[in-house]
Structure 1
Amino acid sequence: MTEVSLQYISQGNSPQEHIQHIGEVCEAGVRWVQLRLKNEDPATILKTALKCREICDQYGAIMIVNDSVSIAQASQADGVHLGLNDMNPKEARNILGPNFIIGGTANTLQDCIQHKNDGVDYIGLGPFRYTTTKEKLSPILGIEGYRSITSELRVQQIEMPIVAIGGIVEEDIAGIMETGVSGIAVSGMLTNQVQLEERIQNLKDLIMVKS
């Protein structure tokens, strides 16, 4: 699987804004995008996903669709990211085949172990802190939560790329990377921001120093 050190989770007040922001972050250097479009009808999400696919192809970026296996398949995405209440990853694998990237949301050690058993390719572990981008937020993990979970996974000899997510700001990254995660997923930090190229390069540098 392609290296997952910096992911952008799309954000916007409309499908058009999601596409605009995806284009901006890809142009500025992000190479892993998750289309996370909530509260829209399937036809709108698919139309948006097809536009996202065009942008990601233009910049050689990995494209992941949040929640929907059918939209991921129909838009020829590279993968799907499944929440704890979405389709089981094993079922998704049967539908999508061996070459699709399947990610899973986790909040606890048990979630991580279950995802490993279900064959996901990476885990989105969070939230790091309170974030307004997600409804029904799971318990906050913080640095200690990441450290506890990653150390226990090492004890159990479970290897899996883990991406930290949830309200992360630039000042958090060095400390989070020291816990043993593989990368960072961000949304607001890169949405509608100035000097995007410089900001993205800074993030990549912070991540690479610790990884």
Structure 2
Amino acid sequence: MNDISTSPIEESSQRALPRWGRILAWVALFALLVIVARALLQKQQGPVAVGQKPPSFTLTTFDGKSYGPAEMAGKVVLVNFWASWCKPCEQEAADLEAAWRYYQPRGDVLFLGIAWTDTEKASLGYIARFDITYPNGPDLGTSISQAYRTTGVPETYVIDKNGNLAYVKLSPFTSLSEIKAAIDPLLGP
């Protein structure tokens, strides 16, 4: 006879394997749902909102200087996230530099450029190409952009003298006058 029979032990082990497979599949599905839920929640939160206290950070610039809460205190601070490969960033680069040269002599305005997901060589090339003189540094480990919940580049955040977020721009500035319109009301008389 060609009757194939299995022992009770073999049947038991054959059933156990699919059960473990089902458990593993459920665990994998649950893990995937958790990851998707976290991503959706972060996306729903969007960037930091006007009126909120923005995340505190310290930026170490490409030339080794540090800008943290102490250097920002009592100043209007423009924080611009950019990347050397970003075409819209190129569109606003000259206007940001012109605004920096306009406000820098006052002493109560600080611009900080944050190179997002870029190499140091490419970032320094971008800075040189657009003759950027305001402080710029890398977002090492994307810690600053994650704290600000950035969604891309360019993104610009303007913080008032009291340390509150006063203005958010999620696209490139189109003119020097647009930048001045974001900063001038925060300077007072």
Q: Which has the larger radius of gyration?
A: 2
The answer, yes or no, to whether TM exceeds 0.5 is no
> Going by fraction, where is helix more abundant, 1 or 2?
2
The normalised TM-score by structure 1 is 0.35
